Amino acid sequence: MERTSTGFSLLMSAIMVAFIAAGTAVAKDPDPSRLLISRNAEFNKEILRVSESVYTAVGYAVSPVSMIVGPRGIVIVDTGLDVASSQEIRADFRRIVDKPVKAIIFTHGHPDHTHGASAFMDSTDVEVWAREGFPHEQHTLESAGILIQKKRGKKQAGFALSPEQRINNGVAKAFWPNRKSGIWGADQEVRPTHIFNSERQKLSVAGLNLELVAATGETDDALYLWFPAEHVVFAGDSFYKSWPNLYALRGTPYRDIRSWANVIDMIMQEGAVALVGGHTRPIIGKIEVNQTLTNYRDAILFLFDKTVEGINKGMTPNQLVDYVVLPEKYKNLDYLRPYYGNPEWAVRAIFSGYLGWFDGNATNLFPLSDEQEAQRIVKLAGGKDALGDLIAGAIKEQDYQWAAVLCDYLLAVDPKNRAAMHSKADALTALAEDMLTATARNYYLSSAIELREQASASGSE
């Protein structure tokens, strides 16, 4: 790859046992912060020469932007998160080859891959290609009137965090929106001019022969691009160097995990010598690409099949996350570490995606409300003060997940309890320090900030 630039009581003990599944944690690396910091090397800002005619800009914002150079112009694959960073990429691409953009291809409709498009609109004749249903995920949520994912997305991304708190996003460098020009600083007037609605479509543009392939997985509008002349595949978010985000914390429609694995298999069959993912740096070399994709596919299928096996044994989601454990051969691969997505979330998503909210336990057909359950727990504990002592004890013993659960009980019966807010914030902050998955880390820390702000505005202890 050529670089071209830049002991309370038995009752309470029983309660703890009952809730231990809720606090089951994913196996942690002994030093998650160190691993996340070392990840930053993936996001060094530069343009990489992937093949004779392909250049990929990484580290400018949060997703790579690629240029395929043809005899009569260039084709851009994904356009980045915002106009400002994409304008910089366009200028740097011109230093390599000063040819006009003839086409833009969106691998899917997420804003971090589309909102920089105007920077590459060299003329009104630029073809803008996308798959049918674009942008599927946004339309699905917005048409139902669901807006909370935007707030949750900000927590997942860590926009409220300081640079010291927010190491990176697991598959991208920490990036803050341009508040002066909209949340992404994006020109949203650029829309697809050409819609791809088949399984595979050949495309001739700028003197290049390309193939668009349907790739339902992360989204229903996803595609991958195959450049047969130089055996380069642009996978979009079907692949990046991390356990895939099979479920996103912000909330999404069910992502078809089995289909996602099948897409990886399809990409493998192309026989690529270079793989450009939707995030992180490209992988170069036929053996490296094949080995990486084989492990990626097999790990996803293992998790899916093992989850289904557990479901058929009558396991609840909490039981499943203990039952489904990835083999060491996958857990030890850096590109399958849970930097961004997390296997436990995928297990839960599979259960709810196929069976819905009911876990199969008759007790949960009509559960107590949060407040009703909390009132009973407070009574068992001996009152709110006694429950507060249990919270303090859990934090002292570094049992942070249990401390957070106990705080939720106290806050359910006393929503303005400042001590409980501060204690939960402390517990979440401690959990974040031991978390490799950057999105979870960001969500913990963002929630802790929110709790401390609520405590400051509250007048109750």
- Judged against a pLDDT cut of 90, whether residue 257 lies above it is answered with yes
Same structural domain, 62 and 149: yes
Same structural domain, 8 and 49: no
Taking only the tens place, the pLDDT of each residue in 57-88 is 999 999 999 999 999 999 999 999 999 999 99
Mean pLDDT of the chain: 91
Same structural domain, 132 and 261: yes
Quick one: 205 exposed, middle or buried, by C-beta within 10 A (0-12, 13-18, 19+)? Answer: buried
Residue 141 has a pLDDT of: 87
For the domain that residue 413 is a member of, what is the CATH number? 1.25.40.880
**394 belongs to a structural domain:** yes
- Which domain, by its residues, includes 418? 2-22+368-457
**386 belongs to a structural domain:** yes
- Judged against a pLDDT cut of 50, whether residue 332 lies above it is answered with yes
**329 belongs to a structural domain:** no
Taking only the tens place, the pLDDT of each residue in 105-159 is 999 999 999 999 999 999 999 999 999 999 888 888 888 999 998 899 999 999 9
Q: How much is the average pLDDT of 11-27?
A: 39
Same structural domain, 10 and 70: no
**71 belongs to a structural domain:** yes
Same structural domain, 245 and 372: no
**347 belongs to a structural domain:** no
- Judged against a pLDDT cut of 70, whether residue 12 lies above it is answered with no
Q: How many domains does the chain have?
A: 2
Same structural domain, 96 and 8: no
Question: Do the strands 283-284 and 274-277 form a parallel or antiparallel pair, or are they unpaired?
Answer: antiparallel
- Judged against a pLDDT cut of 80, whether residue 447 lies above it is answered with yes
Same structural domain, 195 and 69: yes
Same structural domain, 309 and 375: no
Residue 279 has a pLDDT of: 98
Q: How much is the average pLDDT of 317-345?
A: 97
For the domain that residue 212 is a member of, what is the CATH number? 3.60.15.30
**333 belongs to a structural domain:** no
Residue 25 has a pLDDT of: 41
- Judged against a pLDDT cut of 60, whether residue 327 lies above it is answered with yes
How large a percentage of the chain has pLDDT more than 70? 90
What is the length of the chain? 461
Q: How much is the average pLDDT of 20-38?
A: 64
Same structural domain, 271 and 373: no
Same structural domain, 13 and 139: no
The domain boundary, picked from 280, 296, 313, lies at: 313
Q: What DSSP string describes 94-162?
A: HHH----EEEEE-SS--HHHHTTGGGG--STT-EEEEETTSSHHHHHHHHTT--HHHHHHHHHHTTTS-
